[in-house]
């Protein structure tokens, strides 16, 4: 499945069939994880935790948010500058790969028992576990109470901010239209569709002289994670469309008093 199609298809799944992943799917996920690295030189890894692989089942607490999941992906990274953003970039690549296999996932940042998950992995002194996701077969006919509440809330509110509220032309005073975005219109649309904590979409981008500057609006806990997901969507979409470029931290960029510059995309 093409990456843009996969991004459009991905959704958060909170209710699963209760059926463990097939050996084939486990092998495919582990192969993809082993061959995929975090960007920007950051050391991060992903472990697949299976709750029914041994003689005794493993209980992993998610405070009622997830039902019927037998496997989880756990994101582990070494603490360093830009580590959370790069690790989130890596994790979203794996999430999208699982989506392309027809599997369900759901980013979890605060709604899981860290003590339960840490019992199943080995953390080094400088490593951190911040994100997990169930991965498995969505339940075809049933949603949990929490999932019904969340889905109904999303239906009753605009689930994605409009293009011109997230992306700007030259500075933060001029909203960017899809026509003005040109070749970047579709990659930016994939950024607009990216998941984020509480659906905040607290990332922004400014197109200046064919360079895209990416920013985050700082808030507690997950701003660095969310911008990592957004950067992943943009880069993978550009690659699929044949738009060459690279991320680079620049010294000069449009500034905003309340928005933090992160990195820029340099075509070429």
> What pLDDT shows up at residue 155?
45
Decide if 119 contacts 56 (C-beta within 8 A).
no
Alpha-carbon distance 60 to 76, whole Å? 17
State pLDDT tens for residues 204-214: 999 999 999 99
- Candidates 166, 160, 151, 153; CA nearest to 217 is 166
> What pLDDT shows up at residue 89?
98
Centroid of chain to Cα 3: 14
Q: Is the model's pLDDT at 141 over the cut of 80?
A: no
For 116-196, list the strands marked E by DSSP.
127-136, 167-169
> What pLDDT shows up at residue 237?
98
| Residue 122 structure tokens | 């080995």
pLDDT-derived band at 53, boundaries 50, 70, 90: low
Q: Is the model's pLDDT at 142 over the cut of 60?
A: no
Specify the 3-state DSSP secondary structure of 72. strand
Specify burial of residue 160 (Cβ count, 10 A radius: 0-12, 13-18, 19+).
middle
State pLDDT tens for residues 73-100: 999 999 999 999 999 999 999 999 999 9
Alpha-carbon distance 84 to 256, whole Å? 23
> What pLDDT shows up at residue 55?
58
> What pLDDT shows up at residue 218?
85
Tell me whether domains 3-146 and 163-267 share a fold. Answer: yes
> What pLDDT shows up at residue 27?
98
State pLDDT tens for residues 213-263: 999 988 768 999 999 999 999 999 999 999 999 999 999 999 999 999 999
State pLDDT tens for residues 21-44: 999 999 999 999 999 999 999 999
Please tell me what DSSP assigns to residue 262: E
Please tell me what DSSP assigns to residue 104: E
Domain ranges of the chain: 3-146, 163-267
Indicate yes or no: pTM above 0.95: no
- Candidates 10, 13, 5, 249; CA nearest to 138 is 13
- The CATH architecture that domain 163-267 belongs to is 3-Layer(aba) Sandwich (3.40)
The whole-chain average pLDDT of the chain stands at 91
Domain 3-146 has CATH 3.40.109.10: yes
Name the more confident of 150 and 13: 13
Q: Pairing mode, if any, of strands 203-208 and 167-169?
A: parallel
Decide if 44 contacts 76 (C-beta within 8 A).
yes
Specify the 3-state DSSP secondary structure of 25. helix
């Amino acid at each position: 499945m093409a990456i843009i199609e996969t991004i459009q298809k991905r959704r958060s799944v909170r209710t699963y069939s209760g059926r463990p992943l097939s050996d084939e799917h486990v092998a495919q996920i582990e192969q993809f994880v082993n061959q995929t690295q975090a960007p920007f030189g950051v050391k991060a890894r992903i472990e697949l935790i299976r709750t029914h692989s041994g003689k005794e089942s493993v209980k992993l607490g998610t405070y009622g948010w997830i039902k019927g999941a037998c496997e989880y992906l756990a994101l582990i990274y070494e603490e360093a500058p830009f580590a959370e953003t790069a690790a989130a970039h890596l994790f979203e690549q794996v999430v999208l790969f699982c989506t392309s296999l027809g599997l369900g996932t759901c980013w979890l940042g605060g709604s899981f028992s860290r003590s339960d998950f840490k019992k199943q992995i080995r953390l080094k002194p400088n490593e951190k576990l911040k994100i997990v996701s169930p991965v498995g077969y969505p339940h075809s006919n049933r949603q949990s109470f929490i999932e019904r509440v969340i889905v109904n809330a999303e239906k009753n509110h605009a689930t994605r901010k409009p293009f011109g509220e997230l992306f700007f032309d030259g500075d933060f005073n001029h909203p960017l239209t899809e026509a003005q975005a040109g070749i970047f219109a579709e990659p930016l649309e994939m950024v607009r569709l990216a998941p984020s904590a509480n659906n905040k979409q607290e990332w922004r981008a400014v197109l200046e002289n064919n360079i895209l500057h990416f920013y985050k609006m700082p808030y507690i806990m997950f701003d660095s994670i969310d911008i990592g997901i957004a950067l992943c969507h943009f880069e993978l979409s550009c690659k699929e469309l044949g738009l060459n470029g690279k991320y680079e931290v620049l010294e000069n960029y449009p500034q905003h008093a309340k928005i933090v510059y992160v990195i820029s995309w340099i075509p070429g």
